[in-house]
Amino acid sequence: MSILVNEGTKVCVQGITGRDGSFHAQQMKEYGTTVIGGTRPGKGGEIHEGFPVFDTVAEAKSAGANTSVIYVPVAGAVDAMYESIEAEMDLIVCITEGIPANDMVRVVDSLRGRPSKLVGPNCPGVITPGVAKVGIIPGSIATPGPVGVVSRSGTLTYEVVHALTSLGIGQSTCVGIGGDQVPGMNFIDTLTLFREDSATELVVIIGEIGGADEQIAADYVANELGKPAVAFVAGQTAPPGKRMGHAGAIISGGEGTAAEKIAAFQQAGIPVGKTPAEVAELAKAKLSG
């Protein structure tokens, strides 16, 4: 089993005629993901590098798509999310970065009571190794196995997945939820899916400074997950008072520091690695012990 993406995932690439959409549509197809085609308003009926182009997401859904991935530039990305929500796509992955938090508050509110799940924005996407990927996570670094990965950081997702694979530890599904202040799916949403997934035996949580999501996740692992977990917190060497990286990596009033998050994980019985390689070693020890 897996979460979010599987053999039945059929993708519509919003912005398929752009540079990024075109490149990653091909990458996803080569990995084995079923890519139905993509959208570019006004170009419906055309073929772009072997992929059918639709005017709307609804048309792509009628052609079989159940998942959308958004590579639309920031000026149109919010409307692209709304379009996929209205089309009731099962999964929406928004790669686009730079979307204002106020806009995302309204997008997230529009998801209430709808069947769609939204990953992102400003995220690398989702991969179920050996089966399907939606987004930009390199397929070459992942391998099938029992470890679920959920991460606020894009690059660190790659580093931890590569470290796990290098130790012979495969992954069930890897989910990059993004580091923005107002995401679609959060840690708890993703951990809940991993809790129900029989193929996931252990979860790796990759957090970063800013906010309190890691503390909330630590409490969930201690009281609800029912599976072991290990963690990594980015930003342990961040200068005090400095804004770092993602929009969500903002420390305010002394809250949201790496030390706070590490303490919360440790109090919940979750070991925290100092490096991606150490995270992989901790995961190996948990699985074998």
Listing from the earlier edge strand, what are the strands of the sheet with 67-70? 47-48, 51-54, 34-39, 10-14, 67-70, 91-94, 117-119
* φ, ψ for residue 92, nearest 5 deg: -125, 125
Q: Round to whole Å and give the CA distance between 66 and 43.
A: 21
How remote is the C-alpha of 111 from its chain's centroid?
17
The answer to whether 84 touches 14, Cβ cutoff 8 Å, is yes
* φ, ψ for residue 223, nearest 5 deg: -115, -20
The count of other CB atoms within 10 Å of the CB of residue 138 is: 14
Paired sense of beta strands 202-208 and 144-151, if any: parallel
Indicate the helix (H) or strand (E) that contains 38: strand 34-39
For residue 168, give the DSSP letter: T
Q: Which residue is catalytic, options 24, 48, 162, 246? A: 246
Which tokens sit at 11? 């993708």
What value, to the nearest 5°, has the Cα angle with vertex 93 and ends 145 and 188? Answer: 65
- Is residue 162 among the annotated active site residues? no
Q: Round to whole Å and give the CA distance between 226 and 195.
A: 7
Q: Round to whole Å and give the CA distance between 212 and 254.
A: 12
Residue 18: HSE in the Cβ half-sphere, 13 Å Cα cutoff: 16
Would you call 231 helix, strand, or coil by DSSP?
Answer: strand
Residues pairing with 35 in the sheet: 11
Active-site annotation, residues: 246
